[in-house]
């Protein structure tokens, strides 16, 4: 089964980031189309894959994570405006039958991502 998934980890606490709102967009040139919105569970994952099926649509995508809202909800002291508020991650799906996992390692001051398994 092909799928796209994500996992958000709060590196400032060493724990999964529960309650992060995110949106998945499909990109076509300068145009972006909302595919779905979701929120991470207690394990920092969405309850279902962001995309799944025998195949998933190839192309360019953007995951937009609401980091500022997450840190405000956890009572982290942030400047106004926060250093990181919305975090966009742009990536491409080239294999319609592939498994794409796009994790976000997050703190109030930095983030990192990679193609996971």
Q: Which helix (H) or strand (E) holds 68?
A: helix 67-73
56's tokens: 């998933």
Distance in angstroms between the alpha carbons of the first and the last residue of the chain:
14
CB 49 within 8 A of CB 93: no
In this prediction, residue 115 carries a pLDDT of 96
In this prediction, residue 108 carries a pLDDT of 96
pTM: 0.95
Cα radius of gyration (the chain) = 14
Number of H helices, E strands in the chain: 1, 9
In this prediction, residue 79 carries a pLDDT of 93
Query: How does pLDDT run along the chain (117 residues), one tens digit per residue?
Result: 999 999 999 999 999 999 999 999 999 999 999 999 999 999 999 999 999 999 999 999 999 999 999 999 998 889 999 999 999 999 999 999 999 999 999 999 999 999 998
In this prediction, residue 117 carries a pLDDT of 85
């Amino acid at each position: 089964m092909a799928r796209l998934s994500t996992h958000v980890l709060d590196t400032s606490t060493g724990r999964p980031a529960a309650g992060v709102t995110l949106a998945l967009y499909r990109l076509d040139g300068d145009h972006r189309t909302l595919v779905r919105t979701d929120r991470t569970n207690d394990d920092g994952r969405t309850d279902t894959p962001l995309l799944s099926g025998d195949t998933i649509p190839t192309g360019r995508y953007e995951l937009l994570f609401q980091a500022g809202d997450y840190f405000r909800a956890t009572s982290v002291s942030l400047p106004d405006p926060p250093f990181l508020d919305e975090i966009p991650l742009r990536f491409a799906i080239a294999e319609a039958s592939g498994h794409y996992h796009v994790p976000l390692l997050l703190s109030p001051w930095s983030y990192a991502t990679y193609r996971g398994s």
